[in-house]
């Protein structure tokens, strides 16, 4: 193989590791446990430590679908060369680093998606309209769906006619049933999910056995949470909150690793000795280190500057965040965890106090930063690639 190709791949891999570190220090490392930190359920440093480990596990076990979408599905008719991959990753990581330094959460999904499309168009690629439709629908609906679900949950939890020994276990049961149906790469031979794997031991086959296992998982989780809440209401709420934070952290790793390593996948067509699993492992490790070393600043920014969250409002924030994140993983769509979490925080805040705990100025600047980051990444990607290709 041409030594120059190997050198360029090495440079692209380093850029990918840097991007993974930035993601771990920013959106993936900060947002999942920010509500729990805001609710005083866990310290900032401990949250950063746990989110790094769970994000790594999510990256390795569920990171393939979004990685494929970012690497191969955003532009048709071309395959990104090593130079294009380096441009994409440096633009995405650079914009994210600016967000971390300033304390404003720049959406990684927006920056990387914009950069990949801009670079792809610059080298002659064609639009992937079907994928753009999926991405656009999810990005637009996320604030409304996530905010609405958070609003509904936050409206119900404090009501005296709906005891928390009933409402919280019901939420936990829903989450348990969803977890039973999450898709994992290592279960692909038995249907991909825990429910389909367990159905092999059931006396009945097909969708009925999967539904029975999902229902059983939900009921079991609901009973455990009800027992915990009955025994210690505040402690039980906080423990459930921490579990939710862990699930969101796991989902963040599954989704966000694709933004770091997805652009590398086209290069593996010429480097068959490197497997996609090895690339996911590298991206997961980069995110883990980023979470441990850089996430505390962003965790503090989101948990304290956006809103003061209690355990109930934090639960209302994390349930829709988990559901939307796993929907994105299932569809193979890059998604912004900042958008998910912030939207849910707003929804829960409107239910609890009419939005009094949310900083309008901070949120306004954040929304502008999201839109501008996509547009800027696209322009930088297109222009930079024209310069690189012409040199």
Q: pTM higher than 0.85, yes or no?
A: yes
Interaxial angle between packed helices 337-353 and 233-261, expressed in degrees from 0 to 180 and rounded to the nearest 10: 150
Per-residue pLDDT tens digits for 143-173? 899 999 999 998 888 777 778 888 999 999 9
Nearest to 323 by CA among 179, 215, 225, 137: 179
pLDDT given at position 138: 93
Q: Give the up-direction half-sphere exposure of residue 357: CA atoms within 13 A in the CB hemisphere.
A: 22
Q: Please give the mean pLDDT across all residues of the chain.
A: 84
DSSP assignment of 33-87, as one string? THHHHHTTSS-HHHHHHHHHHHHHHHHHHHTHHHHHIIIIISEES----HHHHHH
Q: What's the helix, strand, coil split of the chain in %, to 5?
A: 80, 0, 20
Within 10 angstroms of residue 78's Cβ, the number of other Cβ atoms is 16
344-360: burial string, b at 16+ Cβ within 10 Å, e else: bbbbbbbbbeebebbee
339 vs 140: CA distance, rounded Å: 10
Per-residue pLDDT tens digits for 194-203? 888 887 667 6
302 vs 316: CA distance, rounded Å: 16
Domain boundaries along the sequence of the chain: 3-175+218-390
Task: Name the band, by pLDDT with cuts 50, 70 and 90, for residue 383.
Answer: very high
Task: Name the band, by pLDDT with cuts 50, 70 and 90, for residue 1.
Answer: low
* Residue 193 β-bridge partners: 183
CB contact at 8 A, 288 and 48: no
- Could you tell me the end-to-end alpha-carbon distance of the chain, in angstroms, rounded to an integer? 23
pLDDT given at position 62: 92
Token pair 């979490």 is at which residue? Answer: 341
Per-residue pLDDT tens digits for 279-336? 999 999 999 988 888 777 777 666 665 446 677 888 888 999 999 999 999 999 998 8
Helix, coil or strand: residue 127: strand
Per-residue pLDDT tens digits for 250-270? 998 998 898 889 888 888 877
Token pair 């690339």 is at which residue? Answer: 279
pLDDT given at position 180: 92
Within 10 angstroms of residue 235's Cβ, the number of other Cβ atoms is 13
Token pair 């440079």 is at which residue? Answer: 11
State the Rg of the chain over Cα.
21
Token pair 């389909």 is at which residue? Answer: 196
pLDDT given at position 304: 62
E-only strand ranges, the chain:
75-76, 126-127
30 vs 47: CA distance, rounded Å: 9
Residue 4, pLDDT above cutoff 70: no
Per-residue pLDDT tens digits for 172-225? 999 999 999 998 888 887 778 888 888 766 766 678 888 889 999 999 999 999
CA distances (Å), 169 to each of 25, 172, 214, 233, in order? 33, 5, 15, 12
CB contact at 8 A, 290 and 29: yes
């Amino acid at each position: 193989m041409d030594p120059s190709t190997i050198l360029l791949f090495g440079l692209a891999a380093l850029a990918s590791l840097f991007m993974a570190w930035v993601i771990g220090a920013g959106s993936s490392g900060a947002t999942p446990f920010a509500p729990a930190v805001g609710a005083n359920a866990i310290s900032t440093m401990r949250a950063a430590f746990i989110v790094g480990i769970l994000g790594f596990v999510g990256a390795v076990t569920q990171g393939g679908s979004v990685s494929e979408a970012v690497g191969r599905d955003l532009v048709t008719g071309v395959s990104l060369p090593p130079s294009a991959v380096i441009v994409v990753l440096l633009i995405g990581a650079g914009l994210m680093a600016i967000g971390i330094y300033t304390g404003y959460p720049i959406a990684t999904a927006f920056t990387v998606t914009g950069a990949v499309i801009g670079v792809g168009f610059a080298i002659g690629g064609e639009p992937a309209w079907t994928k753009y439709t999926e991405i656009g629908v999810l990005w637009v609906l996320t604030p409304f769906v996530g905010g609405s679900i958070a609003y509904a949950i936050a409206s119900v939890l404090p009501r005296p006619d709906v005891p928390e020994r009933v409402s919280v276990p019901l939420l936990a049961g829903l989450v348990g049933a969803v977890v039973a149906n999450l898709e994992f790469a290592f279960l692909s031979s038995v249907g991909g999910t825990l429910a389909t794997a367990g159905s092999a031991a059931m006396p009945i086959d097909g969708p009925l056995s999967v539904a029975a296992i999902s229902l059983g998982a939900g009921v079991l989780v609901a009973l455990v949470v009800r027992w915990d809440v009955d025994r210690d209401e505040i402690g039980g709420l906080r423990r459930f909150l921490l579990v939710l934070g862990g699930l969101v952290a796991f989902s963040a790793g599954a989704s966000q690793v694709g933004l770091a390593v997805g652009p590398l996948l086209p290069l593996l067509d010429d480097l068959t000795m490197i497997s996609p699993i090895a690339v996911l492992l590298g991206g997961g490790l980069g995110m883990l280190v980023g979470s441990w070393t850089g996430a505390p600043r962003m965790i503090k920014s989101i948990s304290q500057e956006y809103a003061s969250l209690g355990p109930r409002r934090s639960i209302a924030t994390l349930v829709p965040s988990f559901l939307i994140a796993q929907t994105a993983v299932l569809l193979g769509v890059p998604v912004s965890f900042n958008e998910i979490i912030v939207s849910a925080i707003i929804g829960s805040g409107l239910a609890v106090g009419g939005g009094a705990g949310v900083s309008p100025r901070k949120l306004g600047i954040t929304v502008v930063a999201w839109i501008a980051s996509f547009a800027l990444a696209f322009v930088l990607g297109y222009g930079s690639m024209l310069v690189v290709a012409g040199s």
